[in-house]
């Protein structure tokens, strides 16, 4: 009887060895606690996820125009997970963005953010939208030359996990100082293609970047040769300022930047964007 534990231990070790080495860890999708449903989590103004911060707490002078909390985006309605129009980022990314803002202000501009951290559930919402063939109310502005299927196939919208869900990617532009007023988008208003000249498309208070934000067209490529000289110069200025602050550009989207030294390079989060709304910044 005294040998039984040893026999059992040897048998268990043999079984584990036969099963091979353990599988690599699965990329984490950080979300609401297991005991709390998504709807319950969304109904509570919970504090920001550990390691993340409200951008207003770090750089309150950066202009915010959070499009996925509004009707003015390629879907045409608020996106799942955007319960407040707030920019949330990892602490490291927010501090780097504050550094960029200091440099930008020295040149007579301010940064303006359109999207920051994006919950994973937003990507699922995008996929549900893609599966609704007749739901193309915003096509005339955001993807006038593409089908909905091409929006995903060409990489303009992630069909899986977006870098935004890691918390260190931001969509942004430059606005002149003092910040010009910007009228609100009115749902149902006539739409103009995002590729139209600056004086014809929606009157965003951004300086001219050659296209509107979230314009799913090759003209949005940062170095697209069709950009006018002023628009190209503005894109290169934004890229230089962001590069100096430690961000890299997605060359297919002039507005898209990710922190080089991001703290969660393999983690994708899903907590909703909650909390008290910031005063509108236009």
CB 164 within 8 A of CB 95: no
How far is 62 from 172, CA to CA, in rounded Å? Answer: 10
- How buried is 209 (Cβ within 10 angstroms: 0-12 exposed, 13-18 middle, 19+ buried)? buried
Residues annotated within the binding site are 164, 171, 256
Residues annotated within the binding site for Zn(2+) are 164, 171, 256
57 catalytic? Reply is: no
**Which of 57, 189, 253, 262 is an active site residue?**
253
Indicate if the alpha-carbon torsion angle 162, 163, 168, 174 is positive or negative. negative
CB 126 within 8 A of CB 164: no
Q: How far apart are the first and last CA of the chain?
A: 79
Q: Going by DSSP bridges, is the β-strand pair 169-176/63-64 parallel, antiparallel, or unpaired? A: unpaired
Q: Which helix (H) or strand (E) holds 172?
A: strand 169-176
Secondary-structure percent of the chain, ordered helix, strand, coil, rounded to 5: 30, 15, 55
Residue 105 makes CB contacts below 8 A (sequence gap 6+) with 61, 177
Q: Which helix (H) or strand (E) holds 249?
A: strand 247-249
Residues paired with residue 111 on neighbouring β-strands, in sequence order: 174
Would you please indicate which residues are annotated as catalytic (active-site) residues?
A: 253
């Amino acid at each position: 009887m005294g040998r039984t534990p040893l026999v059992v231990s040897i048998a268990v070790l043999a079984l584990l060895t036969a099963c091979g080495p353990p599988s690599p860890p699965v990329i984490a999708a950080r979300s609401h606690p297991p005991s709390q449903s998504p709807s319950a989590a969304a109904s509570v103004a919970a504090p920001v996820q550990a390691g993340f911060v409200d951008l207003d707490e770090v750089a309150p002078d950066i202009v915010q125009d959070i499009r996925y909390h509004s009707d003015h985006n390629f879907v045409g309605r608020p996106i799942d997970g955007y319960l407040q129009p707030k920019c949330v980022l990892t602490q490291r990314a927010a501090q780097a963005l504050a550094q960029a803002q200091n440099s930008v202000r020295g040149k007579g501009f301010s940064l303006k953010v359109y999207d920051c951290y994006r919950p994973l559930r937003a990507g699922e919402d995008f996929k549900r939208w893609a599966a609704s063939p007749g739901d193309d109310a915003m096509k005339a502005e955001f993807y006038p030359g593409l089908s909905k299927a091409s929006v995903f196939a060409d990489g303009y919208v992630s069909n899986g996990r977006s870098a935004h869900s890691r918390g260190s990617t931001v969509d942004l532009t430059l606005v002149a100082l003092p910040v010009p007023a910007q009228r609100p988008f009115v749902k149902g208003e006539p739409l103009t293609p995002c590729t139209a000249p600056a004086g014809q498309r929606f009157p965003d208070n951004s300086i001219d970047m050659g296209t509107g934000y979230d314009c799913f067209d090759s003209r949005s490529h940062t170095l697209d040769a069709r950009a006018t000289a002023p628009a190209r110069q503005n894109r290169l200025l934004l890229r230089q300022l962001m590069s100096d602050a430690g961000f890299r550009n997605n060359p297919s989207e002039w507005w898209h930047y990710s922190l080089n030294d991001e703290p969660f390079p393999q983690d994708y989060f899903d907590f909703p964007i909650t909390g008290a709304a910031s005063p509108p910044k236009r």
